[in-house]
A and B are shown apart, each in its own frame.
Chain A
Amino acid sequence: MTAYTATVTVRLKHGVLDPEAETTQQALERLGFELEDLRSADRFEIDIEAESAESAHERASEMAERLLANPTIHDYDVEVDER
């Protein structure tokens, strides 16, 4: 078994309105920053023991499917690194 950290990033699907990101962008602009656009995402770092990086990836993906992301509005990606 090897120790891995799986990083799951959950973001709104393209085209789904993100009022929190818009509000954040407006606040940055009020502070004088110039920016084109701003997107926000949730990032989960999950420490797991697994036989292989593939197996760690599979488990983290299932976590994303079943809880961390809502497939109606979210896309997600998973990255796995040895820890």
Chain B
Amino acid sequence: MTVSIIRFGGSNCDRDAERALEHLGIDAEIVWHEDGLPEETSGIVLPGGFSYGDYLRAGAMAARSPIMADVREAAAAGTPVLGVCNGAQIGCESGLTEGAFTTNESARFQCEHVYLRVERDDTPWTAAYDEGDVIEIPIAHGEGRYEIDDERLAELEDEDRVLFRYCDENGDTGPDVNPNGSKHNIAGVLGDRETVAVLMPHPERVTLPDVGPTDGQGVLRGFEAAENGA
């Protein structure tokens, strides 16, 4: 099993993702987007960064690059896909997940540790946690405010496709603990299949024990869990 980490021009969390996955014993390689998706790909990371300088909208250009057709096809066939930060923006722009990540309510770039409440524990990305668990993960984005119209938001919540919400250390959500103004404090959502997920916070930055907390490991272990049919 090899996880392909797609590097676009301007990706900058690709190497972090590779090191974090390797630390967990998950084979991973960085793939330049123009080279296409390798056949042996068993999982896909859309990494963080500033692909194409965030021109037009964050993720808009990368979402329309040819490799994304392969990524959508693989996702539809059940290959696990995880989009982090700019990768989450690319995921929404490409239609892998619903909604859009746009300018923070503060209109500022925000780089800070936040708490997330795990909304489901029956997906590969959250199998390592229990529902209601609170995990600490950093954000680093200027365009992380989750937007979606109210009707589709209701559908998303009815279908139980919200994976993480911003919360306080006790797991309570609300406007006071919403770092970017996201609708209903949404930090991460699932696509059509539970094997497809995007989130703005960076699990790969809290995976290596020598740089601090390791709450993000469970998210990355989703690639193993998906393989094992969790």
Contact = CB atoms under 8 A, between A and B. Distances in A.
- A and B are partners in one complex rather than unrelated chains: yes
Given A19-B103, A19-B106, A73-B102, A67 B147 contact: no
Contact of A72 (B105, B106, B149): B149
Interface in A54-70: 66-68, 70
Nearest to B145: A17
Interface string A23-40: 100000000000000000
A1 interface: no
Given A72-B99, A72-B149, 16 more contacts: A17-B105, A19-B104, A19-B105, A19-B107, A20-B107, A67-B56, A67-B64, A68-B56, A70-B57, A70-B100, A72-B92, A72-B98, A72-B147, A73-B100, A73-B102, A73-B147
Interface string B125-165: 00000000000000000000101110000000000000000
A40 to B, nearest CB: 11
A68 to B, nearest CB: 7
Nearest to A22: B107
B181 interface: yes
Interface in B17-72: 56-57, 60, 64
A20 B103 CA distance: 8
Contacts of B204: none
Given A68-B56, A70-B57, A72-B148, A17 B181 contact: yes
A3 to B, nearest CB: 25
B119 interface: no
B100 to A, nearest CB: 4
A18 B181 CA distance: 11
B18 to A, nearest CB: 30
5 contacts: A18-B103, A19-B104, A19-B107, A72-B92, A72-B99
A67 B107 contact: no
A13 B56 CA distance: 17
B90 to A, nearest CB: 12
B59 to A, nearest CB: 10
B93 interface: yes
Given A68-B56, A70-B60, A23 B99 contact: no
Interface in B100-115: 100, 102-107
Contacts of B99: 72
A23 B57 contact: no
A53 B98 CA distance: 34
Contacts of A70: 57, 60, 93, 100
A2 B98 CA distance: 39
Most buried by B among A13, A22, A70: A70
